[in-house]
Amino acid sequence: MKISEIFGMNTFNQGIMKEKLPKNVFEKLVNTMEIGEPLDINIADSVAHAMKEWALEQGATHYCHWFQPLSRGTAEKHDSFLSPESLKNGKVIERFNRSQLVQAEPDASSFPSGGMRTTFEARGYTAWDPTTPAFIIKRAGSSTLCIPSVFTSYNGDALDKKTPLLRSIKVLNETTKNILETLGSKTSGVYPTLGVEQEYFLIPKDMFEKRPDLKLTGRTLIGMESPKGQKLEDHYFGTIKDNVLEFMNVLETEAYKLGIPITTRHNEVAPCQFEFAPIFQNSNISNDQNRLLMEIMPGLARKYGFECLFHEKPFNWINGSGKHNNWSIMTYEGKNLLDPGTSFDEQLDFLIFIVIVLHGINKRSDLLRASIAPPGNDFRLGANEAPPGIISIFLGDTITSILDRISKGEFTEETSEEQYIKFGLNQLPDLVKDNTDRNRTSPFAFTGNKFEFRAVGSSQSVGFPNTFLNAIISESMDEVNKYLTKTLNSKEPIEAKLATIKYFYNKSKPIVFNGNNYGEDWVIEANSRGLVNKKNSYEALLALNDDKNLKFLDKIGILTQREMSARFSIDIHHLRRIIEIEANTLVYMVKSGVVPTLLRYIKEIGMDSNADSVLSKSNAYMKLKENYIYLLDNLYEETEKLENLLVRLDEISDDVEGARIATEDIRPLMEKIRVYCDNIESKVPKKMWPYPSYIDILHSS
């Protein structure tokens, strides 16, 4: 079937709404969805009835409030459409009313709350988010109506990742409308747009099942480097294998039915690594759709013999996975505020928004860094496939040059000539050259009409990074607007805009870097500029508990200090536990697999025998014997150290101190143990090695 024939068929979209709802109800609901008007609760009964009728037509038997708790992933509690009142007649009917649509009550004590709720305080509420469409999930012979919802405690504290995102969108709308009015533009409102490029690995399921580390942690804790790896650079954009393409086709079909507009699919750089990317949408909808796809993909992958990995670094020696976060601001009338435009006035306004971004991120880079600190990102950031943890912004030569000229008072009203790429071939047309190249080493890069936040981890929700990004830009928007308003009292509009651009660009210059973010000289230079360099998740997450950030997010109305402290508590606890699980898994693999294998090999080749033989007179033989004993003794000794550290960690009740020890002491020791294991793997016959190798996993047909 054509994409156009199936697109959105499993969503309660505007087409369905228009067909099922009374005209006045439809118009009110669309106004809530599209331009942010408050929901008229009086229309909820009509919406609930129409939603139920549509869901029953699609074969749904249950409904749920689908939400994103502070644990990883999503949550849902299924309730039947059956009406209890109808049982007394010996028959049942399906009902779904306003109260069931608008609110539900899952057990809040069973979800992470960061201390905001005690175990006996169980009451929590999910509430319908009407700004993103309801949808039907069909799997295992069951169809369920899913209602996107927020999740709060009995006291109104946000217990999810959606509520703060919605708050940040609201604040961004207000501050942007204010500055647009100052700039002489009118709009009924704005919203942040988001396009999420999702990277992931597909590996053979049978090999996944034989790797305890992959099953329990999502990454390989040991594994000798493959002789090939990605050295030939032949996987990126290569021909997609048939079995992978079959999975992609089914995934896309399911995505289209759910109204998710995937437009790009391709092989990524590493073997077994892939990517998809959708069309830009409202960031709330994009966030929901990305989480939904991450729930769908693993189940579909297993049907085709794969295991789907979202970990940021499943394998050493090859690229890890990110989730490139393409962000911009769009008016309800369809104008992208990060599009340079063509007229002089449009370009000046565009530069105002550029310096707003520069100023905000320069001021709050520690908060942005904290938003991309899932434990797995430590292994990816700063490697040869991802930007470093130092937050900087790439603007490209053209925009940087213009801003430099403004800062020196040299900018005049002029339009730049279009630059063309000359191929020198009659058969190919000349192409218009973008005003900026792409810098794949930059964590936050301007790419023509949007900023690409490249440092986001593949496993994490984009709700957290975009909440903070919207908050940071909102604060900056307000500060720039106040300065511009004051300057307009004494200067002509063009002069006032240029003065504002100059002032905030000069304040924000340290954050602008167009060079190689991988270079060691950049680390030194970034330090001299005063830029934040948080080298791991532990250091980064401390910003969530920084008093200045707590007060900022509370004041701006996005997260109360209580809600923010809870998130810090949850994330630091999660970091500690993830490392603890990884370390215990490594101990298990060493003691149950690696050490017995090496002992068995030593015995098999007779190295444990003192009998005089021809081999015992061989220098090579004796060196090998010494090497094997050295590896065995040192591996066992380091593993015992790790076990002792884990005992010590278990005795520490403070999660901050526990996360510090896990990061600074346990992780380095794990890497040391890995070196011994990988060395042993290179010496033991393949048939004896207890786990599938990198060659098996990454280069099987």
pLDDT digits (tens, 9 = 90+) for 528-562: 999 989 999 999 999 999 999 999 999 999 999 99
**Are 133 and 227 in the same domain?**
no
CATH of residue 76: 3.10.20.70
CA distances from 488 to 183, 495, 500, 506 (A): 10, 8, 10, 19
Nearest residue to 285 (alpha-carbon basis) of 441, 131, 170, 398: 131
Integer Rg of the chain from CA:
28
Look-up of token digits 């099922």: 20
Q: What pLDDT does 431 receive?
A: 44
Q: Looking at the structure, do residues 604 and 463 belong to the same domain, yes or no?
A: no
Which residue's entry shows tokens 């749904």? 60
Do residues 481 and 501 both lie within one domain? yes
**125 and 52 part of one domain:** yes
pLDDT at 605: 78
C-alpha angle 487-488-489 in degrees, rounded to nearest 5: 90
| Number of helices and strands in the chain (H, E) | 24, 17
Q: In which domain, by residue range, is 145 found?
A: 3-158
Using left for φ > 0, alpha for ψ between -120 and 50, and beta otherwise, residue 140 falls in left
Could you tell me if 147 and 227 lie in one domain? no
In a domain, residue 35? The reply is yes
Residue 452, classed as helix, strand or coil, is: strand
> Quick one: 154 and 174 in the same domain?
no
Nearest of 46, 162, 148 to residue 104 by alpha carbon: 148
Instruction: Tell me, rounded to whole angstroms, the distance of Cα 11 from its chain centroid.
Output: 24
CATH number at residue 662: 1.20.120.1560
Residue 237 inside a domain? The answer is yes
564 within domain boundaries: no
Residues 600 and 535 in one domain: no
Query: What is the pLDDT at residue 361?
Result: 97
Ranges of the chain with pLDDT below 70 = 84-90, 118-120, 384, 411-439, 607-617, 701
- Number of structural domains found in the chain: 3
Q: Which residue has the tokens 């057990």?
A: 107
* Pair (426, 349) in one structural domain: yes
Cα–Cα distance between 429 and 421 in angstroms, integer?
Answer: 9
* DSSP 8-state class, residue 82: B
368 and 262 within one domain: yes
Q: What is the DSSP letter of 96?
A: -
Query: In terms of domains, do 656 and 515 share one?
Result: no
- pTM, to two decimals: 0.93
What is the structure's pLDDT at 86?
Answer: 60
Q: What is the length of the chain? A: 701
For residues 521 and 582, state if they share a domain: no
pLDDT the model gives residue 230: 85
Bridge-based pairing state of the strands 135-139 and 190-204:
unpaired
